[in-house]
Structure 1
Amino acid sequence: MSLQAKLDAFKTDFKAGKAPFFAPAEIHPVMARATAELIASGQAGRALKVGDKAPAFTLTDPDGQTVSSAALLAKGPLVLSFYRGVWCLYCNMELQALQAALPEFNALGANLIAISPQLAANSRKAQRNNALTFPILTDANNAVAAAFGLRFALPDYLVDLYKMLKNDLPAFNGDDSWTLPMPARYVIGQDGTILYAEVNPDYTQRPEPDSMLPVLQQQQAA
């Protein structure tokens, strides 16, 4: 089953309140409104795209080790996924799909990382829960996400909903700004040029991992 098919099936079960998803029915229109407003804002179209230069960054992994984009790109192309956090089941399903595709990325000379605003302890939990062998780097205050044009502030009514659901982003992220990155996937070439970009303000929609393979194959053949 494709990643999107799994996400669609999960979304259907979640909206239907099937076990173990017992979310109140009234939350769904609120979440749909927030997504529709983010789409209408046009922010996704202003995010970095193919042909742009990717911002350089230096972040820490869950063990506190410094990881720089320059060091990663010295080894080969970089596959980069912006990850909202361990609390996002859609995001976790995407990370699992990327993990399954990791051998193909590595065979084409590419490294894979995820970037998230969450604290290191939550990234360690995400790595354990999803059996990940690639790192989740901590992007404090969504600074790198902002450099890519992905950071957005949750509207007040969505903050209220998250609080009701005990989805405490300030506690998860160590940051009281109530901001998130739009889910995004990039392939960055060794010269820093963005070769593939997929940004979607609808967090329930994610590209298939194999959609990046043609770009990586072209890079290997170059």
Structure 2
Amino acid sequence: MNSLIKSVFIIALPAFALIAMLDSLWYLYTAGISLQHVAHLLTAGCIVFFFLQIFIKPTPRTDAILKTHTFIIFLGCILGLLVGSLQEDDTFRGICTIFNILLTVGWIMYLVWYSYFEKRNAANNDILKVGETLPLLTFENSKKEAITTERFAGTPSIFIFYRGNWCPFCMAQIKEMVDKYEELTERNINTIFVSSQPHGFSKKLTKKYPLDFQFLVDVDGNVAKQLDIFSKNGLPFGFQIFGFKSHTVLPTVIITDSNEKITYTNQTDNYRVRPEPKTLLKIIDQNV
């Protein structure tokens, strides 16, 4: 139930912020400049800008608390609360204060609740422990042909489990790994991207990046369940209309040596915090 609430929340927050932003712009246009509506716009606009930004110019990672955005949002909320005493001549709109408070609370929930994967603890995942052998895994390629991890035996591999083409952080992560193609090739590394999304979306990535990379499908999330990285209702509510499935995978990176021994894993508990390619290359050089 909690994961379903999260999938609705991540759609509701930016939608509510957009309504609040349009409300503030309308009143600034019709009633003139007022500190209250500027504060209102500051809070709502910053949230809208953040979500637009990550889709327009995807970034593979952020800091955990989004310092700049959080500062602006709190500033807008505080100004909104103080406006009655700071600018007494203005007509005070209680709805602005309510919107600002709700948006600020929503932003805090996004940072400390939505962004984190509850109950995910890498130390408790006995399957993905460094030194252990990666179990036999079965995927499908974009042609729905079965591919097992036996195919990659004898050569070091990086397995990157991503949530899907709908996730801007995942797409940015894939892009920066593509940018390291030559360095990965020089090290003779298999690079495998895995998601549980329908085959057509993975096929699009195969066409977009016609390199010696594998874009594989974890059918019905069976591998994710096997590795304990399954994410129930991980898809934002409503994205099903684009053809995506409701259940996804938790972002995970696994590096194995030529004997399929796990040399490194990254099981992030925050979907916006992910390892950089230079970190992965360093791990490879040290352990593979």
- Change in 2 beyond 3 A, CA 1:20/1:146: closer
Cα distance, 1:207 vs. partner? 0.3
SS of structure 2 residue aligned to 1:201: coil
Q: Residue in 2 aligned with 1:17?
A: 48
Which one has a larger percent helix, Structure 1 or Structure 2? 2
The structure with higher relative contact order (CA 8 Å, sep 6+) is 1
Correspondent of 1:71 among 123, 146, 151: 151
Q: Residue in 2 aligned with 1:104?
A: 183
Percent identity for Structure 1 against Structure 2:
20
Deviations 1:31-73 (A, max 9, x none): 442334x24x244432313122212112111133332211112
In the alignment, does 2:123 pair up with 1:45?
yes
Runs of 4+ in 1 over 6 A off after TM superposition: none
Cα distance, 1:145 vs. partner? 1.6
Correspondent of 1:59 among 114, 139, 147: 139
Cα distance, 1:28 vs. partner? 4.9
Which one has a larger percent strand, Structure 1 or Structure 2? 1
8 Å Cα contact 1:77/1:110 also seen in 2: yes
Cα distance, 1:19 vs. partner? 8.8
Partner Cα separation in structure 1 for residue 46 and residue 157 of structure 2: 35
Q: Which segments of 5 or more consecutive residues in structure 1 lack a partner in the other structure?
A: 1-13
In the alignment, does 2:205 pair up with 1:119?
no
- Change in 2 beyond 3 A, CA 1:44/1:217: closer
In the alignment, does 2:115 pair up with 1:35?
yes
Correspondent of 1:168 among 215, 234, 240: 240
SS of structure 2 residue aligned to 1:168: helix
Cα distance, 1:30 vs. partner? 5.5
Partner Cα separation in structure 2 for residue 15 and residue 56 of structure 1: 46
Correspondent of 2:263 among 191, 195, 212: 195
Choose 1 or 2 for highest CA Rg: 2
> CA RMSD, aligned part only?
2.9
Cα distance, 1:85 vs. partner? 0.2
Q: Between 204-213 and 42-51, report the one with greater CA deviation.
A: 42-51
TM-score (norm 2): 0.58
Partner Cα separation in structure 2 for residue 35 and residue 19 of structure 1: 14
In the alignment, does 2:227 pair up with 1:144?
no
Deviations 1:7-33 (A, max 9, x none): xxxxxxx9632398299x697555442
TM-score (norm 1): 0.73
Q: Residue in 1 aligned with 2:31?
A: none
Partner Cα separation in structure 2 for residue 51 and residue 17 of structure 1: 44
Give the counterpart letter for 2:269 in structure 1: P
8 Å Cα contact 1:53/1:192 also seen in 2: yes
